Chains A and B, each alone.
Chain A
Amino acid sequence: MTSTPALQGFGLSDLPRVPLRPEHEEALRRAREVTLGEGAWRHCKLSTVRDLFALEQISERMEVIAIDPSTELRAIVRLRCAVPCLPPGATDLVVEDEVELALHLPEEILRGPLPGYALVAILKPFHVHHANVSSGPSQRLCLGANVPRSYPLREAVLASYGAMTMQSVTLDTRDPAGLMNAEAADWWQQNLHRIPLSRVPFLAPLTADAKRDCARGESS
Chain B
Amino acid sequence: MTTPRLHEIHAETTPTLAAARRLDPAARMPAFLDVPREARQALREIDVVAIGAGSVGLATIQAVAPLGPRSLTIVDPAAFKAESLLTHASLSHRDIGRPKALVAGVRAKAASPRSRVFVFEGPFEALPIPLIARASHLLVATDGLRVELRIAQAALHLGAELIQGSVWGPGLVAHVRSLAATEDGSGPSLCCAFTRDEWQQADDGSVFSCAGGPELESAWAPSRAPTASVAPLCAAAGNLVALELVRRVLGIGDRSESRQIELCAYDFRTTVSHLMRRADCPLNHQRMRLLPLAGGLGAQTPRDLLEQSGYGDADPKRVTLTVEGRRFAKLTACHCHAHEVLERFVSMEGPAGACPRCTTPRTVHPLYTFSEVTAAVLGSQLDRPLAKLGARAPASVRVRGDRGACLIYRDLPESGVPEEIAG
Q: Which residues of A contact B (CB under 8 A)?
A: 34, 36, 38, 40-41, 66, 68, 70-72, 74-76, 102, 104, 106-107, 110-118, 121, 123, 126, 134, 136-138, 140, 142, 145-146, 148-150, 176-180
User: In the complex, how many angstroms separate the beta carbon of A216 from the nearest chain B beta carbon?
Assistant: 28
Across the interface, do A74 and B367 meet the contact criterion of CB distance under 8 Å?
A: yes
Contacts of B351 in A (CB 8 A): 136-138
User: In the complex, how many angstroms separate the beta carbon of B162 from the nearest chain A beta carbon?
Assistant: 16
Which listed residue (A104, A146, A180) contacts B207, Cβ 8 A?
A: A146
* A74 nearest CB neighbor, chain B only: B367
Across the interface, do A180 and B210 meet the contact criterion of CB distance under 8 Å?
A: yes
- 15 contacting pairs across A/B (C-beta < 8 A): A34-B317, A36-B320, A36-B374, A38-B286, A40-B282, A71-B373, A102-B367, A116-B210, A137-B361, A140-B213, A140-B214, A146-B206, A148-B203, A149-B203, A177-B210
Across the interface, do A121 and B335 meet the contact criterion of CB distance under 8 Å?
A: no
Interface positions of B from 181 to 228, Cβ below 8 Å from A: 199, 202-203, 206-211, 213-214, 217, 220
User: In the complex, how many angstroms separate the beta carbon of A72 from the nearest chain B beta carbon?
Assistant: 6
Contacts of A75 in B (CB 8 A): 367
* A134 nearest CB neighbor, chain B only: B213
Across the interface, do B210 and A113 meet the contact criterion of CB distance under 8 Å?
A: no
* A111 nearest CB neighbor, chain B only: B282
* B371 nearest CB neighbor, chain A only: A72
Given contacts A137-B360, A145-B208, A146-B207, contact A111 B214 (CB under 8 A): no
Check B283 for interface membership: any CB of A closer than 8 A: yes
Contacts of A145 in B (CB 8 A): 207-208, 210
Given contacts A121-B366, A148-B203, contact A71 B374 (CB under 8 A): yes
Check B422 for interface membership: any CB of A closer than 8 A: no
Which listed residue (A38, A102, A150, A179) contacts B210, Cβ 8 A?
A: A179
Given contacts A38-B286, A66-B367, A137-B362, contact A179 B211 (CB under 8 A): yes
Cα–Cα distance between A106 and B369 once the two chains are bound (Å): 12
User: In the complex, how many angstroms separate the beta carbon of A65 from the nearest chain B beta carbon?
Assistant: 9
Contacts of A137 in B (CB 8 A): 333-334, 351, 360-363
Q: Which 6 pairs show the lowest CB-CB distances between chains A and B? A: A102-B366, A115-B208, A137-B363, A71-B372, A113-B206, A176-B211
Interface positions of B from 334 to 352, Cβ below 8 Å from A: 334-335, 351
Across the interface, do B209 and A176 meet the contact criterion of CB distance under 8 Å?
A: yes
Check B318 for interface membership: any CB of A closer than 8 A: yes
Contacts of A76 in B (CB 8 A): 366-367
Contacts of B153 in A (CB 8 A): 111
Across the interface, do B214 and A117 meet the contact criterion of CB distance under 8 Å?
A: yes
Given contacts A38-B286, A104-B366, A134-B213, contact A112 B202 (CB under 8 A): yes
* B402 nearest CB neighbor, chain A only: A36
Cα–Cα distance between A142 and B217 once the two chains are bound (Å): 12
Contacts of B317 in A (CB 8 A): 34, 70
Check B409 for interface membership: any CB of A closer than 8 A: no
* A68 nearest CB neighbor, chain B only: B367
